[in-house]
Amino acid sequence: MTNYLLAGGGTAGHVNPLLALAEEIRRNEPGAKIWALGTKEGLEARLVAERGFELLTIERLPFPRRMNLGALTFPLRFGKAVNDVVEMIKSKNVDVVVGFGGYASAPAYLAAKRAKVPFVVHEANALPGLANRIGARFAAAVGVCFSNTKLANAKVVGMPIRAEVASIAAERDAKSARAHFGLQDAPTLLVTGGSLGARSINETAVASIKLLRAAGIQLLHISGDRAGLPEVHESDLVRLNYCNEMHLAIAAASFAVARAGASTVAEFAAVGLPAVFVPYAVGNGEQKFNLIDLVNAKGAITVADVDFNPEFVANVLIPTISDSKKVSAMAAAAKSVGISDGSNRLYRLVRGVLSQ
């Protein structure tokens, strides 16, 4: 029986692949013990328990960007977090640590090294985060989602995706999925800016309803918890603040508009859902790099946030969705670069480390 510690959290981009691997381990090793390591503030505080796993927590420690009191106390607090994880590893008899980036991963990597336990790094984004850039130097193995991710000794394993999404990659029943949301069996545009929403995407979606309706395209709009938009349930327009069944939303869609987070890009490609991606324009711009393989394969279109407006919808998006041959070609191209068994590939990479 193997004991696993899976470290990550903070955002859905770290939590979802962690949980996908946890469920893959549970399917293959019913007797294995699995713990997640995160913080009390991140999404993991809710999602890990919902999936039936135990969460171990450490202090949330953002790396200081400027000199202040937090920066002065950071080394001591970080050292305590590493010590805490070392004790967890020893008390739980952990055999291997797998990290997904985020606040919990850097302490986990250093703790594993100190406790002489092998650790594996999984990097979801094409542009690696700081914790994973450091961890990859000492890791027993490194798995990445995209071929253009620059980490030493990395192996492309794809994204660990939820079993519900992986099942759609094998067989998608769009008609039943549309009926689930109360939509007609007609060309369907899925618009989502992520769990918190994306203002520019939401504003353009709302402003384009008449254009889409005139073209015979129905809209499934996941606006996000903080968007403040009213929910709508009509036969050709459904707007939800949050969707607990995103796999059905993906199954219902003929085409999509979304941010270019690694999980979204990987899931759409695995299923073969063509899309317009609007990379998040703030931060270090990593989202645009997640699209390189997919756009080069002609399985997706990308547009700058500032240029995603009703004119783009009228002049580019609607003509594309209305061309069934083009949509089919984009779907096939997306699926050609997608990886639907990323959870199993990462699991096999971890098992390979344990067998050494």
- Average pLDDT over every residue of 149-174: 91
> Is residue 190 scored above 90 in pLDDT?
yes
Q: Which residue, 109, 122, 207, is CA-closest to 158?
A: 122
Residue 46 pLDDT grade (very low, low, confident, very high; cuts 50, 70, 90): confident
Q: 222-242: per-residue pLDDT in tens?
A: 998 777 899 999 999 999 998
Task: Give pTM, 2 decimals.
Answer: 0.91
Q: Which residue, 325, 222, 333, 313, is CA-closest to 273?
A: 333
**Does residue 243 sit in helix, strand or coil?**
coil
How confident is the model at residue 102, as a pLDDT? 82
Residue 152 pLDDT grade (very low, low, confident, very high; cuts 50, 70, 90): confident
Q: Which residue, 151, 93, 85, is CA-closest to 122?
A: 151
Please report, rounded to a whole number, the percentage of residues in the chain having pLDDT higher than 90. Answer: 75
Residue 244 pLDDT grade (very low, low, confident, very high; cuts 50, 70, 90): confident
Q: Extract the tokens encoding 203.
A: 């504003």
Taken in order of first residue, the domains within the chain and their CATH numbers are: 3-161+340-354 (3.40.50.2000), 164-337 (3.40.50.2000)
> Is residue 53 scored above 70 in pLDDT?
yes
Task: Supply φ then ψ for residue 173, to 5 degrees.
Answer: -110, 85
Where is mean pLDDT largest: 45-59, 78-92, 174-188? Answer: 174-188
> Is residue 172 scored above 80 in pLDDT?
yes
How confident is the model at residue 32, as a pLDDT? 97
Average pLDDT, the chain: 92
Residue 12 pLDDT grade (very low, low, confident, very high; cuts 50, 70, 90): confident
Q: 200-214: per-residue pLDDT in tens?
A: 999 999 999 999 999
Which segment of 46-50, 223-227, 241-245, 309-313 scores lowest on mean pLDDT?
A: 223-227
Q: Is 64 exposed, middle or buried (0-12, 13-18, 19+ CB in 10 A)?
A: middle
Token pair 């709508």 in the structure block, residue: 232
Q: What DSSP state is assigned to residue 226?
A: T
Beta bridge mates, 9: none
Return d(Cα 349, Cα 347) in angstroms, integer.
Answer: 5
Sheet strand arrangement including 96-99: 54-57, 33-38, 3-7, 96-99, 119-123, 141-144, 154-156
Those residues whose C-beta lies under 8 Å from the C-beta of residue 144, and which sit 6 or more positions away, are 122, 123, 151, 154, 155, 156, 157
